[in-house]
Amino acid sequence: MAFGKKRLQRNMEQNSDPGIDPSIRNQGSISIRLTENTKHLQSIYNDCSDIIFRHFLMGNKTHAVLIYLDGMSNIEEIDHYVLPALMREEANSDVESILKQKLTISSVKEIKTFYDVVKEVSSGNPVVLIDGQIIGFSTGLPKWENRSIQEPTAESVVRGPRDGFIEAISTNVVQIRRKIKSPNLKTKTIQVGRYSQTEVVIMYIEGLADQTLIEEVQKRLNRIDIDGVLESGYIEEFIKDHPYSPFPQILNTERPDVTAANLLEGNVVILTDGTPFVLIAPTTFYSLLQSPEDYYEGFMSGTLIRWLRYFFLLIALLLPSVYVAILTYHQEMIPTSLLISVAKSREQIPFPALVEALLMEMTFEALREAGIRLPKNIGSAISIVGALVIGQAAVSAGLVSAPMVIVVAITGIASFLIPRYSASIALRMLRFPIMFLAGTLGLVGIMLGLLTIIIHMCTIRSFGVPYLQPMAPMKKSEMKDVLIRAPWWSLKKRPHWTGESNQIRQSSNQKPSPNKENE
């Protein structure tokens, strides 16, 4: 028992300062002696062959060292602007003159601790330490390869911007600022992960985003204590309200236009270095069913497509379950001619409808996952050909009936109409327990499953916002962008989230008319 208490206390002491690499947490400040600083840093970077210590003389008299990470720092800029300028000058007590007058680079920052040295070097910024100085300075000269900006494959549109986020967080911030040029677009940067020290940027528009929402996002991010963050999905799991819910409570996107649109509605955006996926909070269930193209085409076509999307959402969730329930318990609901056809096709099938549906659904999901994991050139072909061949072979072998293959195929097509992959996964997961309820209780089981899902969704909140808003609780003023896509000139108010400030997003009386006088 005593050993357990000591171990718990030791772990609490190690975790007292989350977000910092424990190996360099208490390394102290830079010494006035360069030899001590160099020896200490070499011990920190022991067995790191890509860390370069470049010793040189300032003014042929004062010793100095340049520390950088090979492959992450701009060697050409170092050779051209940093080393020649420093070698020509004599170091003195006026370090400010060295920083501001001698180096012809835009980004120079003072550093005072070894932790700052490690953080700057690991970020690709070369660090200069001078003998006799208790401070050093980092030069903002990082350089690494970036992927070019391309259209996101998972969120493609017929009409709309073709640019997408990449893995470089600075490029992603620039893409958002290109669309929102107001100085009220604010950014706050933090580091998450003890060892990865991943850069995370919080973006919001001051005056639109509620202050309590901003503070809540910061609080949830600051309490994350993990070894490393390699993708925004790590952060999403730590900050969501209901971790055991299958429904996504934070919107993720690769599109700058979607991000900018949510910022203009008062949402908060979380960008993570190393991933093109941006997190948007809060979100609602209806936001997951909206495509950016809904707002680029006419409002009538957008409304029609939105209704079609809602209809096929129900099909993707319930069609196999309804088929199993009717075929097992409610045959009287099927027309006689159709019932005879279905019974004839199932005459040689050895399995009940529930087992048949589960077999086909699991096969379809396996083929879909295989198509995603295979190389892109053959993935789609393998999944389509595999579904056709396996389905026909299963029918010919008498394992499944032809109507079941049609039902599963329509269900799979319907799931592709959902714009957000995370929402599609949630429906795919819920489809199986509803099928079990349909196979045991019939249509009553389906209704119990639907009621359970609706009750659960009514209890979910995303950063304090009800998940089914504006349907539950009902807000008539915001219904214009849920069941229909109202024209832009009628969307006078932005959605209500956590505050009441600045809800008017455009002037009134903007409905176009050929007889309208110019004011």
- Domain assignment present for residue 152? The answer is no
Q: What's the pLDDT at 383? A: 64
174 lies in the same domain as 43: no
Backbone φ, ψ for residue 246 (5° rounding): -75, -15
- Domain assignment present for residue 4? The answer is no
Structure tokens that stand for 249 in this block: 């409570």
Give me the DSSP letters along 185-198. Answer: EEEEEEEE-TTT-E
CB neighbours of 245 closer than 8 A, spacing ≥ 6? 456, 460
User: Does the pLDDT value for residue 125 go beyond 50?
Assistant: yes
304 lies in the same domain as 274: no
pLDDT band (50, 70, 90) for residue 349 = confident
Least confident of 155-159, 390-394, 447-451, 497-501: 497-501
220 lies in the same domain as 265: yes
128 lies in the same domain as 220: no
Boundary of a domain, candidates 248, 283, 318:
283
CB atoms within 10 A of CB 252: 20
The C-alpha atoms of residue 460 and residue 247 are separated, in whole angstroms, by: 9
396 lies in the same domain as 319: yes
The CA-based angle 202-203-206, given to 5 degrees, is 125
The C-alpha atoms of residue 110 and residue 38 are separated, in whole angstroms, by: 17
303 lies in the same domain as 266: no
Q: What is the dihedral of CA 91, 95, 100, 106, to 10 degrees?
A: 90
| Residue 450: domain span | 295-466
Boundary of a domain, candidates 283, 308, 328:
283
pLDDT band (50, 70, 90) for residue 7 = very low
pLDDT in tens, 259-287: 999 999 989 999 999 999 999 999 999 99
Boundary of a domain, candidates 91, 123, 139:
139
Q: What's the pLDDT at 90? A: 64
- Domain assignment present for residue 418? The answer is yes
320 lies in the same domain as 215: no
421 lies in the same domain as 381: yes
- Domain assignment present for residue 473? The answer is no
pLDDT in tens, 58-91: 877 888 999 999 888 888 888 888 888 888 766 5
pLDDT in tens, 192-239: 998 888 999 999 999 899 899 999 999 999 999 999 999 999 999 999
Span 446-463, average pLDDT: 95
- Domain assignment present for residue 395? The answer is yes
CB neighbours of 69 closer than 8 A, spacing ≥ 6? 50, 51, 52, 121, 122, 124
Structure tokens that stand for 77 in this block: 């800029």
Return the H-helix or E-strand segment holding 427.
helix 421-441
- Looking at per-residue confidence, does 160 or 7 come out higher? 160
Span 423-437, average pLDDT: 93
- Domain assignment present for residue 135? The answer is yes
- Domain assignment present for residue 115? The answer is yes
- Domain assignment present for residue 494? The answer is no
Question: Can you give the C-alpha Rg of the chain in angstroms?
Answer: 30
Give me the DSSP letters along 205-265. Answer: EBTTB-HHHHHHHHHHHHT---S---SHHHHHHHH-S-TT-SS--SEEES-HHHHHHHHHT
271 lies in the same domain as 324: no
421 lies in the same domain as 452: yes
CB neighbour burial string for 313-350, b if at least 16 within 10 angstroms, e if fewer: bebbbbbbbbbbbbbbbeeeeeeeeeeeebeebbeebe
Provide the domain count of the chain: 3
273 lies in the same domain as 310: no
121 lies in the same domain as 215: no
